[in-house]
Structure 1
Amino acid sequence: MIRKRRKRLDWLTLICLSLCLSVAVTWTRFYPAEISQTTVTASEEIRGVWITNVNSGVLFVPGGTQRALDQLSQLNFNTVYPVFWNRGTTFYRSAIARRVTGRFQDILLNFVHLGEDVFSDIISQAHQRDLRVIPWFEYGLMAPINSQLVKRHPEWVTLPQSFRFSATPSLKELENALLPNYPPSNKNAGWFGIKNVWLNPLHPQVQRFIEDLIIEVVIKYDVDGIQFDDNFGMPIELGYDWYTRKVYKEEHGGKLPPNNPADPEWMRWRANKITAFMKTLHDRIKAVKPDCLISLAPNPREFAYNESLQDWQTWVKQGLIEELILQVYRDSPQAFLSELEDPAIREIRGKIPVGIGILSGTMAHAVDIEQIQQQVQVVRDRQFQGVSFFYWETLWSYFTPDAPRERRRVFETLFSPSPS
């Protein structure tokens, strides 16, 4: 069990590192510098930002979220995507999480706010400022190996090909599985070197847990929608756990899954199972709250399918999602434009609103305001529905490469009452 004192030290270390960040990004001038008119009106345009606990202290500072929402409202943002789940824990008081993990809320959040319902406060304050609130299922099915969720349910974890465990692997077996290659992805390493595993989206108990969490939020809070992200899938290297192998054999005349994780049929079979799970989630959400928007913030189509078996193009065709915010975190102007011009994006734009996720910076990668300004212009020039920025802490904080006041001034220009 992670003790409160250790968690608090980790958080303080994170804040200190954040304040020391001074990395600058070189930008090649390629986009038009002027902000021109778009046919998407200010009231229709998505002007969003993700609010997370990762490399960010806004949730843990008393009054932090109120100040953040005040600034966003003053600068004419209209949508927030606050984290309500990541890394095996919830950021609201969850009876479902308590039942499954033994904890009803993130330890540090609970410690700082003394058990107060910060999530409810965010929703109430955001709506008072005419901001849409679409809670974000961040990190999807990823969870740290040392989380209470994984410790209590190691059988829920999906595994790479090189491991053959029983239906109920021990935590020690999982830890051994992580040592060399689980899976070969940079997403493996979490905070302070803690490794992540993936819950199996095909496992019925995992599905029930995720469904119950989502429905709990939809029923308990006055949310405008729910958003899933790029980690709501399964890395291509995984799926060789006992349960998935059993189901595959039952549906393939006793055959085991191919040794090649990139085998087209094996990829399609797993992707279809994830799509079926997404349909179940869609149907349950709509059954309890028909007007709850189902949003998705995926990686570009080819990467999403080939790396995470996330077939979001099919999800759109089947009517399972109603808003798509494509993550296009690219510094290169050519790479940024290339993702916007994907034929799959052109195809779905006539079906649902499509916005573009723009990187405003990370703890290790600063993004200057000129790049942000120019990328917003490219999105508008191509008549997308709007933008969302990853993430709040890097919009105009003190570890950005430009002065916070200058960055806020640019956002004020970008998000004037009528985009121009």
Structure 2
Amino acid sequence: MDIKKKMLKKSTIALVAIITLVSCACKKNEASLPPTKTKSDPHFAGTWITNVASTALDSRANIQEAVATCKKSGINNIFVVVWNQGRTLYPSTVMANLFGENAKIASKFQGRDPLQEMVEEGHKAGIKVHAWFEYGFAASNNQNGGLILQTKPQWAAKDSNGNLLTKNGFEWMNAFMPEVQDFISSLVLEVVEKYDVDGVQGDDRLPALPSTGGYDDYTVNLYKAQHSGANPPSDYKNTEWVNWRADLLTTFLGKLYQQVKAKKPKVMVTVAPSVHPWAKDEYLQDWPNWLDKGYADLVIPQHYRYDIAAYKSTLKQQLTYVKPQHKSKFYPGVLIQNGTYNPTDDFFKQMIDANRAEGIVGESFWFFEGVKKFPAFFETYNQ
């Protein structure tokens, strides 16, 4: 009887030892594997909310309604406009100090703070809110520079004929001039300091400048100082001239990125440029370089196309500029409304399916009003 007990005891000890070894081995293998994404992990889903062709920002009640729509639709990131037509959509001390008390906020929103209202309502719903600086280095649209360039004419960007730099109706400040760069940076940093935003964003105008620009005295003299006195090429598409100016904007973005992170490390710096290489050739936006240098937490190129063949082709092309280690920072911008245009239900679904087929688990929609046009799709989106 004692012998049987001893044998049973030894067998039990051996069995426990084997189970322990197997368990440890399994844990070791699990630790060596990358974490898997569970169904409960939300993917990135964004939309832009603007004060143009939308009443979403016209009152706090409208903001609450917009946030509720986003929540119901699976949108977890809102990019809300805070800078366009030479005005901020929040009370700006920077603007008041430079251009007078009447320039403190866009006149339509005097007495309110749409940005603060959006931050409060968005956070209540568990949605991240990003301050979107829509106009970037553009001073105005069809206003000949507006208040900014009337007050600061020395800030004007110039084309090769010495005229105010204008493209597609937008009139531009000189994005290479330190004083102008400091102005735009001060607006971004003002928002970071004053508001509990989750991010700040520039689009196809920040940082950017039409490649027809750069012929102002400041930029010409800077180029000459670095090129043995030679003038910039008269051909604005000259490769070296494009690269030189694009690098100046990349340097600006790198500095701004560091400034934001120094104030609030958790605030994201995102960009929504045009597609590459068109963005660089036309607006000096070298966003693959921004990713490589670590100057952007997310890049959301504007993949605005009107048929699935063009969309798929653009998506595949853009991914060739994104290194594997940066793919998690890349999300397409998807067009779901532009004026009276909306994609068909089938085309909309095909674009999202194309993203998923390429291993992309999110996108941002241009723009919010379009979200309301596809209730059936958004019932199950991001679930």
- Normalised by the shorter chain, which TM-score bucket? 0.7 to 0.9
Distance 1:58 1:393 in 2: 9
CA contact (8 A) 1:100 1:149 kept: no
The equivalent position to 1:214 in structure 2, one of 188, 197, 205, is 188
Deviation string, structure 1 residues 238-291 (Cα, Å, up to 9, x no partner): 110111111111111211111110111111110111111111101111111111
Matched residue, 1:174: none
CA deviation map 1:84-118 (0-9, x unaligned): 112211111110111122211111122xxxx1222
The amino acid across from 2:378 in the alignment is F
- Who is 2:7 aligned against? none
| 1:136 paired residue among 129, 132, 138 | 132
Q: How far does residue 139 in structure 1 lie from its aligned partner after superposition? A: 2.3
Corresponding residue number in structure 1 for 2:375: 408
Match of 1:363 among 315, 339, 359: 339
CA distance in 2, matches of 1:201, 1:321: 18
**Counterpart residue number, 2:118:** 122
- Work out the CA distance in 1 between the residues paired with 2:272 and 2:245: 20
Secondary structure of the structure 2 residue equivalent to 1:207: helix
Q: Deviations over 1:116-160 (max 9, x none)?
A: 222101001101101011111112211222521121112111111
Q: 1:349 deviation in Å?
A: 4.7
| Structure 1 consecutive aligned stretches of length 4 or more whose deviation exceeds 4 Å | 38-42, 343-346
Q: CA 1:151 to 1:64, structure 2 compared with 1: closer, same or farther past 3 Å?
A: same
**Partner in structure 2 of residue 168 of structure 1:** none
Match of 2:242, as an amino acid?
A: M
- Corresponding residue of 2:174: 200
1:393 is aligned to 369
User: C-alpha separation between the residues in 1 aligned to 2:342 and 2:380?
Assistant: 21
> Which residue in the other structure is 1:284 paired with?
259
Change (3 A) 1:374 1:341: same
> 1:268 is matched with which residue: 228, 234, 243?
243
Aligned equivalents of 2:290, 2:49: Cα separation in 1: 25
Q: For structure 1, which runs of at least 5 residues remain unmatched after alignment?
A: 1-37, 164-176, 189-195, 397-403
Matched, 1:76 2:74: yes
The structure-2 alpha-carbon separation of the partners of 1:63 and 1:211, relative to structure 1 and needing over 3 Å to count, comes to same
Partner of 1:159: 158
Q: Which residue of 2 aligns with 1:377?
A: 353
1:149 is matched with 148
Which residue pairs with 2:212 in the alignment?
Answer: 237
Q: 1:328 aligns with which of 260, 278, 303?
A: 303
Q: Using the alignment, how far apart are the partners of 1:280 and 1:332 within structure 2? A: 38
Which AA in structure 2 matches 1:269?
W
Matched, 1:104 2:104: yes
- Asked if the contact 1:40/1:385 (under 8 Å) is kept, the reply is no
Q: Which residue of 2 aligns with 1:85?
A: 83
CA contact (8 A) 2:308 2:347 kept: no
Shift of 1:219: 0.8
* 2:3 alignment counterpart: none
> 1:400 — aligned with what?
none
Relative contact order higher in (CA < 8 Å, ≥ 6 apart): 1
Output the CA distance in 2 between the equivalents of 1:122 and 1:335. Answer: 35
Shift of 1:57: 1.9
Q: CA deviation at 1:51?
A: 0.4
The two structures have a TM-score, normalised by structure 2, of 0.85
How much has 1:39 moved relative to structure 2?
6.6
Question: Within 2, Cα distance between the matches of 1:204 and 1:94?
Answer: 21
For 2:331, what is the secondary structure of its paired residue? strand
Code of the residue aligned with 2:310 in structure 1: it is A
Unaligned runs of 5+ in 2: 1-35
Residues 72 and 59 (structure 1 numbering): CA distance in 2 closer, same or farther, change over 3 Å? same
Amino acid across the alignment from 2:304: Y
Question: Normalising to structure 1: TM-score of the pair?
Answer: 0.77
Correspondent of 1:57 among 41, 50, 55: 55
Match among 269, 272, 277 for residue 302 of structure 1: 277
Q: Partner of 1:226: helix, strand, or coil?
A: strand
User: Could you say if the C-alpha distance between residues 267 and 40 of structure 1 is closer, same or farther in structure 2, counting changes exceeding 3 Å?
Assistant: farther
Q: CA deviation at 1:361?
A: 1.0
Q: 1:379 Cα shift?
A: 1.0
Question: Structure 1 pair 42/135, CA: closer, same or farther in 2 (3 Å)?
Answer: farther
Larger Rg: 2
Shift of 1:346: 5.9
For residue 224 of structure 1, what is the amino acid of its counterpart? D
Q: Secondary structure of the residue that 1:355 maps to in structure 2? A: coil
Q: Could you tell me how far apart the structure 2 residues matched to 1:343 and 1:214 are?
A: 28
- State how far apart, in whole Å, the 2-side matches of 1:54 and 1:48 are: 18
Amino acid at match of 1:71: T
Select between 135-144 and 297-306 the one with higher mean Cα deviation: 135-144
